[in-house]
A and B are shown apart, each in its own frame.
Chain A
Amino acid sequence: MKKIWAIFRKDLLIELRTKDSFNAMLFFGIVVLVIFSFALASVRDFIRSAAPGILWVAFAFSGTLGLNRMFAAEKENGCLQGLLMIPVDRGIIYLGKMLAATVFMLICEIIIFIFTLVFFNLTVWQEIPWLALIFLVGSLGFAAVGTLLSAIAVNTRMREVLLPLILFPVVLPILINAVEATNIVLNGGGYGALRLPLSIMSVFTIVFATISFLLFEHVLED
């Protein structure tokens, strides 16, 4: 529907102009990579096996940053209030925001991934389509529940601190399965084994996107 597109486009437009979120998310993700490089120096030889975990930690942290900003930016100037006054189904707002969050995350993930390839000297060519699929489903799932929880956290006293605390336990299935799937792709295991983690991630995404869509009106406030 064109309203979802309007919301999505607006977020994208602001982001293209200011690049506030992108810069923060990207920088933070890369910093996490660097820290892990130092922390895991003793296992440099086996870095390829640690790569899935490191990658998704970086994605999760950078994604959380992006989600935080998504609604925090709306609170400036009371834009959230403006959205609330519009006679539009809250679920529409949710979908627009969720898509924007997914796209932002995906773009950052691609760039962070490229840095990972460089830092850890990995080669991946035929694995790329599979990785793309995992990144996509993972980001969708993360954003599906993250958008709702971010809307909750933004109206509390401790918004930046609260979001990670309430997000990570809930989004654990995505993280576990994404790491598992990435591991299968990078470190061998037969693509048939991908079916289970990808299924769980897909179920998670569909279930939580639906629930969030239905319940969004109860949490979106200013």
Chain B
Amino acid sequence: MPHLDPTERQVVFKIVYFGPGMSGKTTNLLFVHRTLMDKYRGEMLVLDTEKERTLFFDFFPVSLGKVQGYSLKFHLYTIPGQIYYEASRKIILKGADGVVFVADSRLNKLKDNIRMFRLMTENLLEHGVDPDSFPMVLQYNKRDCPPVIRTGVLERELGLNGIPVTESVATTGRGVMRTLQLISKEIIRKFKIG
């Protein structure tokens, strides 16, 4: 459920970029932050380790404007992808309204993607969320790093039917805004009150 506040007239949706370590979650957010005009974006927080890996989360708010008198906002978060940060991931995923699963397209990362997707599904179930009806986009990132996993492989391995899929190179920005557009629309389409 989003943060819906009739008194302050704002509705805030939380989007979490989930995926294995070094798949490009922070790079996605950095590109979105660079691309958006100043009036739509807030300051970006990057909480990383010395090796530039996300320690807790990255975050920035986006304000799109007024809809029916309400300020429409999206808060974008990433999770730390390293396997030992399981507790942090669970905390950040809590209260999410939608997820972008940033998969690492490199062929030798297939197992990591599958493992991380399954962990995400378990986390969602623990938070009482049904992953099958939850707004989600699967982004095949790092399409510029051959040999790559063919699109369709992850969907088949994970039994995903009808999930929106994008291909991207987050370092250049290819596919990044499209992914954000798709997940935001998924969230809005599935948004219900009460």
- Is A bound to B? no
